[in-house]
Amino acid sequence: MSASASPDRSDGLVIGLVGFAHLLSHFYQIALGPLFPLLRAEFDVSYTALGLIVTVFFGTSAACQAFVGILVDRHGADRLLLFGVLMMSSSIFLMGLAPSYWAFLPLAVTAAFGNCVFHPADLSILSAKVNPQRMGRAYAIHGFAGTSGYFLSPVIIFYGVVSFAGWRVGLMTAGAIGWFAAFLLYKFRDALRMPAGSVDSSAGLPGMAFYLRLITSLPLIAAFCYFALISGALIGMQNFSATVLVEIYNAPLYLATAGLTAYLGASAAGNLLGGEVADKLQRHALIATTGLTLSAVCIGCIAFLPLSMPVIIILFGGVGFCGGATHASRDILVREAAPAGATGKVFGFVYSGLDLGGALAPLLFGWLMDDEMYRGVFIAMTAMYLVCILSVLQLKQGRAAVPAEAD
């Protein structure tokens, strides 16, 4: 084996392991959604009560993720990533044994303890272990894996298991998949171990002082807002878009759901292409703003124009593809804005915006739906994409604008 082949193979192993872990985090995030009608019948509870499980999950994850960023920088991301997979998969497995509705709430909290680990841990590993010339592709595969997790979750859990064995066996099967992933992470732990000098071993105050001073960093506050808004738009797509199309156009559910399928599939493809473009052009702010602008145009057309369902489905695909193509460039911009030795804290902070958006957006979209302002769902999503453009323009100022770690 040549000397040049070894680093490539090492990069591939790291990207594959981290990508698999990220896939599982998204796989578990929507594991309960397709089961809500079954859980409602089983435990005789309202959809609002079931929605509370999701709010508890994302709210807890948002509150913990920034703190986990400190742990990543101090103790290394590899062990925390293994912890996250074990905690989340075990919580999902135990949900399959839940004797009552109330058992889901504490398990949602423990699942969130696992979920909050992924972004600060896996992005820190990629940033430290992968050749910078392949960083765009590494981030792209990371994003592609997450989108694939969203797609595979209902396919494997609902259609693959629940349809013939029941929801309890479906959740326990999903949890067992995570245990297999944890075994792989442990077996190849040497490949994921953070390099010497990448872990901040300083005492407790500097990490907290960094976060206190972070509120003066406009680029990273803009990145936090970006993730909160992009998560809100994703929640609108995943949970409300099909219902809105049924209400506005009286479309059959299978056809309305085809828009979401087009969005997710195109987003995965856009992730991969965006990684290649990011590595070759190195114009990350331009790539991100262009993709967000085109996404806003596509969703704006759906919001304001009377269109046929085939055209709407194509536009949904356009939103997904253009948005997915921005992910690698966006993550590189965040990495470049992070002070040396603080990648975990920075990714932990900005990605907690995803969970905040996931917890709050359903309230906005639910209110719009209850008041029969169906096109308002798409209008709100358009506004979210447009504000994200302003966030990227602020983020591109880079590392010079970020406060240094406290001494």
CATH number at residue 220: 1.20.1250.20
**Is residue 206 assigned to a domain?**
no
pLDDT in tens, 77-86: 888 899 999 9
Clarify whether residues 308 and 390 are in a common domain: yes
Residues 359 and 256 in one domain: yes
Report pLDDT for 284: 83
Residues making up the chain, counted from first to last:
407
Are 244 and 379 within one domain?
A: yes
pLDDT digits (tens, 9 = 90+) for 85-110: 999 999 999 999 999 999 999 999 99
Q: Is residue 161 assigned to a domain?
A: yes
Do 20 and 135 meet the contact criterion of CB atoms below 8 Å apart?
no
Q: Are residues 225 and 346 in the same domain?
A: yes
Residue where a domain terminates, one of 195, 226, 256:
195
So what's the pLDDT on residue 120?
84
Q: How confident is the model at residue 8 (pLDDT cuts 50, 70, 90)?
A: low
The domain boundary residue, chosen from 168, 195, 222? 195
Residues 187-198 as b or e (16 or more Cβ within 10 Å = b): eeeebbbbeeeb
Q: How far apart are the first and last CA of the chain?
A: 45
Backbone angles phi, psi at 266, to 5 degrees: -70, -35
Q: Would you say residue 335 has pLDDT above 80?
A: no
Instruction: Please tell me which residue, 264 or 172, carries the higher pLDDT value.
Output: 172
- Same domain for 397 and 353: yes
CB burial of residue 1 (10 Å; 0-12, 13-18, 19+): exposed
Q: Which of 195, 223, 251 is the last residue of a domain?
A: 195
Of 178 and 356, the one with more pLDDT = 178
Q: Are both 293 and 162 inside the same structural domain?
A: no
- Per residue, what are the HEC states of 314-327? HHHHHHHHHHHCCH
- The answer on 382 and 287 residing in a single domain is yes
Quote the Cα angle for 384-387-391, to 5°. Answer: 125
Do 223 and 181 share a domain, yes or no?
Answer: no
Does residue 282 fall inside a structural domain?
yes
**Helix and strand tally (H, E) in the chain?**
18, 0
Please check whether residue 334 lies inside any domain of the structure. yes
Asked whether residue 208 is domain-assigned, the answer is: no
Q: Is residue 236 located within the same domain as residue 152?
A: no
Q: Is residue 15 part of a domain?
A: yes
* Domain co-membership, 233 together with 277: yes
| Token pair listed for 362 | 């359903």
Helix (H) or strand (E) holding 394, with range, is: helix 374-395
- Residue 290 carries which side chain, given as an amino acid letter? T
238 in the same domain as 175:
no
Domain presence at residue 201: no
Average the pLDDT over 139-164 and give the result: 84
- Report yes or no on 205 lying in a domain: no
Considering the chain, what is the average pLDDT of its residues? 82
Backbone φ/ψ region at 25: left (φ over 0), alpha (ψ -120 to 50), beta: alpha
Number of domains in the chain: 2
Kindly report, residue by residue over 258-316, the tens digit of the pLDDT.
Answer: 888 888 888 888 888 888 888 887 788 889 899 999 999 999 999 999 899 999 999 99
Q: Are residues 15 and 114 in the same domain?
A: yes
- Domain coverage including residue 393: 213-407
Residue type, 250: N
